[in-house]
Structure 1
Amino acid sequence: MFAPLGEIIRNGIAQTTPSGLFFAIGEQLNALSGLALCLIMAWSHMDNPRRNGTLFMSIGLVWFLLCGVLCGTLGIPSLWTVIPTAPLVLLVLRWLTELPWRQLLLIVATASYMVAIVYYLSLVIDVAVLGADSTNLRVGWPGLVNLLLLDVIALVSLWHPLHDSIPATFDSPSISKGFWQLIWLFPFVSSAIVVWCMPADNSTLLDSHMLEIAFTVAVVYSCFMVLAYFLIWYMIQQSDRLLAARRRQHYEALQTLQLQHMNERIREARQIKHNVRHHIHSLQALAAAEDMDGIRSYLDEMSKHRLLQPAPMQYCEHASLNAVLVYYCDWVRHLGADVDVKAAVPQYININNAELCSMVGNLLENATEAITQQTQGERRLKVRIRYRSGPPAALFITVDNTYGEADTSIEQIDGDLVSTKHGGTGLGTATVRETAERHHGTASFEHSDGMFRASVMLCLGD
Structure 2
Amino acid sequence: MPPLYRLVEVGIYSLLNFLPLMVLALYPFRHRLRFSKTATVGLVVALSLVQIFLGWQAAFFSTNAGLLSAVSTLLYAAFYFFAVKVKVGKTGFTLLLLSNNASFIVITSKCLEGILFPSLAYESYRWSFSLCMLMTEAVVWGPLFIYMKKVYTPAVEKEPSGLEWRYLWLIPFTFYIIWYYTLYGNSTKSSLELALEPKNTIALFFINAGAFLVYYIVALLVIEQQKNLRLQENNHLLEMQNLQYDYLQDKIKETRRYKHDVRHHIALMQELLKKGEYDKLSEYLNSFRDSMPDISERIYCKNTSVSALLAYFAQIAESSGIEYKVSADIPDDIKIDITDLSVLFGNLIENAIHGCVSDSAKNKKIIIRAKADSYSLCLAVDNTFTGTILTDPEGGFLSSKRKGKGIGTESVKNIAAKYNGVAKFEYGDGMFYASVMLNI
Percent identity, please.
Answer: 16
Question: Deviations for 1:327-350, whole angstroms, at most 9, x for unmatched residues?
Answer: 221233345655433322222334
Task: Point out where structure 1 has 5 or more consecutive residues left out of the alignment.
Answer: 1-9
1:225 and 2:211 aligned: yes
Shift of 1:299: 0.3
Identify the range of structure 1 (344-353 vs 42-51) with the bigger mean alpha-carbon deviation: 42-51
Compute the displacement of 1:300 (Å).
0.7
Cα distance in 2 for residues equivalent to 1:302 and 1:123: 93
Q: Give the match for residue 300 of structure 2.
A: 315
**Aligned-partner Cα distance in 1 for 2:312–2:361:** 24
Question: For residues 300-322 of structure 1, what are the alpha-carbon distances to aligned partners after superposition, in whole Å with 9 as ceiling and x for unaligned?
Answer: 111112x4346442111111111
The one-letter code of the counterpart of 2:344 is M
Q: Is the 8 A contact 1:31 1:82 kept in 2?
A: no
Structure 1 position 279, deviation (Å): 0.9
Q: Secondary structure at the match of 1:304?
A: helix
Structure 1 Cα separation of the partners of residues 397 and 175 of structure 2: 38
Instruction: Give the equivalent residue in structure 2 for 1:52.
Output: 40
C-alpha distance in 2 between matches for 1:337 and 1:81:
65
C-alpha distance in structure 1 between counterparts of 2:8 and 2:313, whole Å: 74
Counterpart amino acid of residue 267 in structure 1: K
Query: What's the counterpart of residue 190 of structure 2?
Result: 201
Structure with max Cα Rg: 1
| Distance in 1 separating the partners of 2:362 and 2:290 | 19
Partner of 1:62: 49
- The aligned runs of 1:437-448 (5 Å cut-off) are 439-446=420-427
Contact 2:369–2:381 (Cα < 8 Å) also in 1: yes
1:420 to 397, 400, 403: 400
Within the alignment, does 1:211 sit opposite 2:197 as a pair?
yes
Report the AA paired with residue 360 of structure 1.
F
User: Would the alpha carbon gap of residues 45 and 344 (structure 1) be closer, same or farther in structure 2, given more than 3 Å must change?
Assistant: closer
Matched letter for residue 320 of structure 1: S
More deviation, 292-301/158-167: 158-167
Residues 1:397 and 2:367 aligned together: no
| Partner-residue secondary structure (3-state), 1:443 | strand
The residue identity in structure 2 corresponding to 1:170 is V
Aligned counterpart, 1:460: 438
Q: Distance in 1 between matches of 2:141 and 2:152?
A: 15
Matches of 2:208 and 2:365, distance apart in 1: 58
Contact 1:315 1:322 in 2 (8 A): yes
> Residues of 1 paired with 2:281 and 2:13: CA distance?
101
Amino acid at match of 2:182: C
> Hey, what does 1:302 align to over in structure 2?
288
Code of the aligned partner of 2:439: G
SS of the aligned residue for 1:45 comes to coil
Would the aligned equivalents of 1:127 and 1:205 in 2 still touch at CA under 8 Å? no
Secondary structure class of the residue paired with 2:197: helix
Secondary structure of 1:314's partner? coil
1:106 equivalenced with 2:93 (yes/no):
yes
TM-score, normalization: structure 2?
0.81
Checking the alignment, whether the CA contact within 8 Å between 1:317 and 1:345 is kept in structure 2 is yes
Alpha-carbon separation, structure 2, partners of 1:267 and 1:229: 57
The 1:457/1:24 distance shift into structure 2, 3 A limit, reads same
Q: State the partner residue of 1:260.
A: 246
Residue in 2 aligned with 1:355? 340
CA contact (8 A) 2:331 2:372 kept: no
Q: Report the CA distance between 1:325 and its aligned residue.
A: 1.3
Which residue of 2 is the match for residue 117 of structure 1? Answer: 104
Q: In structure 1, what is the Cα distance between the partners aligned to 2:253 and 2:153?
A: 52
Aligned residues: CA RMSD: 3.8
How high is the TM-score relative to the length of structure 1?
A: 0.78
Q: What amino acid maps onto 1:246 in structure 2? A: Q
Per-residue CA deviations over 1:106-162 (Å, capped at 9, x if unaligned) read 33323322221111122334445677x675584777755432211222333322333
User: Per-residue displacement from partner, 1:68-109 (whole Å, max 9, x unpaired)?
Assistant: 444443697976644321211123334544344443333332
Residues 352/396 of structure 1: CA separation in 2 closer, same or farther (3 Å cut): same
CA distance 1:445–1:311, shift in 2 (3 Å): farther
Shift of 1:371: 5.9
| Contact 1:394 1:457 (8 Å CA) reproduced | no
Does 2:263 correspond to 1:277?
A: yes
TM-superposed deviation, 1:185: 3.5
Displacement after TM superposition at 1:461 (Å): 1.9
Deviates more, 1:325-334 or 1:235-244: 325-334
Amino acid at match of 1:457: S
Aligned partner of 1:382 in structure 2 is: 366
Whole-Å separation in 2 of the counterparts to 1:370 and 1:112: 46
Aligned mate of 2:72, from 64, 77, 85: 85
Distance in 1 separating the partners of 2:45 and 2:358: 64
2-side partners of 1:88 and 1:315: how far apart? 54
| Aligned partners of 2:96 and 2:176 also within 8 Å | yes
> 1:167 and 1:433, CA in 2 relative to 1: closer, same or farther beyond 3 A?
closer
1:10-55 Cα distance to aligned partner (Å, 9 max, x none):
1xx25x9x6x7776555434423333433444444334425532x3
Among candidates 313, 321, 343, match of residue 328 of structure 1: 313
Q: Is the 8 A contact 1:116 1:195 kept in 2?
A: no
